[in-house]
Chain A
Amino acid sequence: MRNYLIKRLLALIPTIFFATLIAFVAIRVIPGDIIDQMISQQEFSDQEVTRQTIEKALGLDVPIHVQYFRWIKNIFLHGDLGRSLWKNTKVTDEVMARLPVTFELSIVALIFSLLLAIPIGVYSAIRQDTLGDNIGRTISILGIGVPNFWLGTIVIIYPSIWWGWGPQLELIPFWENPIGNLKLFIVPGIVLGFALSGITMRMMRAMMLEVLRQDYIRTAWAKGLKEKVVILRHAIKNALIPVITLIGLYIPVLIGGTVIVEQIFVLPGMGLLVFEAINDRDYPIITGLMLVIGVMVLMVNLVIDISYGFLDPKIRYK
């Protein structure tokens, strides 16, 4: 276990290095744009601005690898991700301000998806190829197939046509009014979680099918146990373990989904920030956000990989 842990942590170092490289280089392939945009914006101000002064102020006047090392140094020494090109605020502040919204939205989506997926997935597996299975699988594949931007649009349009109901557009802090806050998040959460529930259902079904073919399940049947006991006590426990790993894979899906859901429901989260920053070509924010998201995903995966060993006594890391 200890050796595995050390190996796992060592492997993380090059991964994070590559991640910073991807985040940094991806967006800087075309510099200049932001500066053109800024010059055209400042044409009407009294200050004389030239390309050089802006480049110097933004630290874009040095070669790209120097910029990269400067950026890395600031992150590791000061925890500083740089400043927004437009707003001149700290990137860390911008991200931190948006993080709670995305976090809450993701949690609501995750809970909803698991509540929907696990029972249906289990039922689908124990009644394979029956009508119930087909309905269950239809729901799950619909979950994957229904685009969340469409579901979100429909959820906004039809209730407002039929009942004149529209989603609330003002953010209520959780600590002031928990119920009002949850009301705000429940619909976007369901829209976001529906896609995940599809994936979970599929995984749950597949895992159950595999577990149900194991010898110990046959033994349980042979002992004369009731179906309820076989399924609940013997099968589900074993089938759930790989499904838990999925949560690690969900983090990127969830964050990708928030870009769209937050856009539709106008929730000021990280997803909306990504979109705004890309429209503004605000590189420090985009790189900062990508790095924060990437490191978050890597950490969640690390925790899940390690907890896997504790959850499943069959797994012994060498």
Chain B
Amino acid sequence: MANHSASIDAGHVYAPVRRRSVVDFFIRLFKQKHLGAIGGIICLILLLTGIFAGYLAPYGYNDINPIHALKPPSSQHLLGTDNLGRDMLSRIIYGARLSMIVGFSATALSIVISTIIGITTGFFGGKYDMIMQRLVDAWMCFPALVVLIVAVSVIGPGMWQIISILGLRYGITGSRIIRGATLSVKENMYVRAANAIGASTLRLLVRHILPNIMAPIIILFTTRIATIILAEASLSFLGLGIPPPAPSWGGMLSGTGREYMLIAPMMALIPGLALTIVVYGINVFGDAMRDLLDPRLRGGSGSYSLKRKKGDERSSNIRSLFFGEKGERS
């Protein structure tokens, strides 16, 4: 499979991401992709909520107060309280921090793993590539959630365990995309030229190939982070994620709380809603990014919509900068 898509991708030229294009990108995001702009704002809110959780939350995430248990929303507790009398709003806010930490660290880890596997298999090829590809095939044939719950049951629950498991699971899967990008980049003249003047393999990989596959790496990052946040929530829901007092959005929907949800439906509604909004935001942002940066999805001579939009010309130079991977397997 990967071979087909790689052959389609071959011939595209990657260029490094420059600062100018980043500014351009945001201008075009807000001008052309309104939905994507909303997504970007949601991501920003998540980031800020996560960072300033300590200042924003009216109560601690584990302030147990049995007298006020299972209260509906009021001026004191804007989103009501759970079965232990903990303020739901505060738990949601601290949950944003947790999701952010897990999302970012696990995604970063997965990208590092993807890049190492992808860049080496793509560059060296041969037997090493063949064996690694079969290994990745085998790894990918198991459903993510099944692998994750087996892995958690082996190494035990906890935040760092969850991050490493998520990073490993999605890192190996994502290596395919990096490999595809590497395959098309390594055929470029500058790589051959660098090779000809005697650059070491490490230098070729780090200085010549890596900067040129930054675009797919960035897109992989944005698409992965939502998946990983959801996966963490699913694990916590099954009781195999980050252990209870921690305010994981998935964990709030599981365990003892489930029994009280008929009395206080807010307990079930709010965490899932928060999760949905965040995943929605990240996804539309990533989508808009891909739409804007993938030259094949942009208006051209054979364009379906012949109307050209303003602002298209001024930034036409970044068309060749990015393009998204297609047919990603996850």
Contact = CB atoms under 8 A, between A and B. Distances in A.
Interface of A: 11, 14-19, 21-23, 26-27, 29-30, 126, 128-129, 134, 137-138, 141-142, 144-151, 153-154, 157-158, 160-161, 202, 206, 209-210, 212-215, 217-218, 242, 245, 249, 252-253, 255-257, 259-260, 263, 274-275, 278, 281, 286, 289-290, 293-295, 297-298, 301, 305
6 contacts: A11-B134, A26-B147, A29-B154, A128-B305, A209-B304, A213-B300
A27 B269 CA distance: 35
Contacts of A27: 150, 153-154
B146 A274 contact: yes
Contacts of A15: 134, 137-138, 141
Contact of B149 (A30, A161, A252, A278): A278
A217 B302 contact: yes
Interface residues of B, number: 61
Interface stretch (B17-25, B65-73, B270-278, B314-322): B270-278
A29 B165 CA distance: 15
A134 to B, nearest CB: 5
A78 to B, nearest CB: 23
Nearest to B237: A149
Interface stretch (B55-63, B199-207, B226-234): B226-234
A260 B151 contact: no
B238 interface: yes
A133 to B, nearest CB: 9
Given A15-B141, A138-B35, A157-B265, A215 B302 contact: yes
A252 B153 CA distance: 20
Interface in B114-135: 131, 134-135
Contacts of B275: 145, 147, 150
Contact of B304 (A151, A154, A212, A290): A212
A158 B265 contact: yes
B78 interface: no
B123 to A, nearest CB: 21
A247 to B, nearest CB: 13
Given A158-B265, A217-B304, A260-B237, A149 B250 contact: yes
B53 to A, nearest CB: 21
B135 A18 contact: yes
A205 B278 CA distance: 22
Contacts of A206: 297, 326
Contacts of B300: 213
A142 B144 contact: no
A188 B122 CA distance: 41
A213 B304 contact: yes
B198 interface: no
Interface stretch (B90-98, B185-193, B208-216, B280-288): B280-288
Contacts of A274: 146, 149
B261 interface: yes
| 3 residue pairs, one from A and one from B, having the closest CB atoms | A150-B272, A18-B138, A256-B145
A274 B1 CA distance: 29
Contact of B32 (A29, A129, A150, A255): A129
A210 B287 CA distance: 15
B245 interface: no
Contact of A153 (B150, B253, B284): B253
Contact of A275 (B33, B149, B265, B326): B149
Contacts of A23: 142
B119 to A, nearest CB: 21
Nearest to A203: B327
Interface in B132-174: 134-135, 137-147, 149-151, 153-154
B28 to A, nearest CB: 13
A26 B138 CA distance: 13
Nearest to B133: A11
B305 to A, nearest CB: 6
Contacts of B261: 153, 157
Contacts of B131: 14
Nearest to B265: A157
A301 B2 CA distance: 13
B268 interface: yes
A145 B226 contact: yes
Given A138-B280, A144-B283, A145-B278, 9 more contacts: A11-B137, A137-B35, A138-B35, A138-B284, A150-B253, A154-B269, A249-B329, A255-B143, A256-B144
Contacts of A294: 138, 141-142
A256 B141 CA distance: 11
B195 interface: no
A252 B150 CA distance: 15
B280 A257 contact: no
Contacts of A286: 150
B142 A147 contact: no
A48 to B, nearest CB: 30
A212 B299 CA distance: 11
Given A158-B265, A260-B237, A214 B302 contact: yes
Contact of B276 (A26, A134, A146, A252): A146
Contact of B150 (A19, A26, A160, A260): A26
Contacts of A217: 302, 304
B1 A260 contact: no
B326 A145 contact: no
A158 B321 CA distance: 48
